[in-house]
Amino acid sequence: MAPPESPLSRSRAQVFDDLVLDAVERLERVWSRELANVEFLVEDVPRVPPGVTAEDGIPYSRLETGRDGRACITVYRRPVEIRTREPEEMALMVYETVVEEVANLLGLEPETVDPETRG
């Protein structure tokens, strides 16, 4: 059994949470004022409204406004995990997903939020 501080002892959910946190921290270096009141969450899977089918596509994230008026960006772990095979691929997809939602929030193109984003 691996010691608690070992990367081997971290669950997939913990690793995913860290990827989202890394993405947010990276964007906050440039967009700190704009992201100051934005809440970032991770959920396992999206809630699918009645009548929506798999053919409609499964979202990787969601941008919504909370009751308090604050923007909230949620990234869904399982759809991203299923779509990616390698840790580096997952990290990139998480980052690009967060960039896309931040761009939507700010009314900008993803390439404006981060010029290195593939978009």
- The overall pTM is greater than 0.95: no
8 Å CB contact between 49 and 74: no
Q: And the tokens for 64?
A: 């919504």
pLDDT band at 3 (very low <50, low <70, confident <90, very high): low
pLDDT band at 118 (very low <50, low <70, confident <90, very high): low
Domains along the chain?
Answer: 10-46+59-110 (3.30.2010.20)
Query: Over the chain, what is the mean pLDDT?
Result: 90
3-state class of 64 per DSSP?
A: strand
Strands (E) across 22-110 are located at 39-43, 61-65, 71-76
Is residue 107 within a helix (H) or strand (E), and if so which, with residue range? Answer: none
pLDDT band at 4 (very low <50, low <70, confident <90, very high): low
Tell me the per-residue pLDDT of 44-92, one tens digit each, with 9 for 90 and over.
999 877 777 767 788 999 999 988 989 999 999 999 999 999 999 999 9
pLDDT band at 6 (very low <50, low <70, confident <90, very high): low
pLDDT at 1 over 60: no
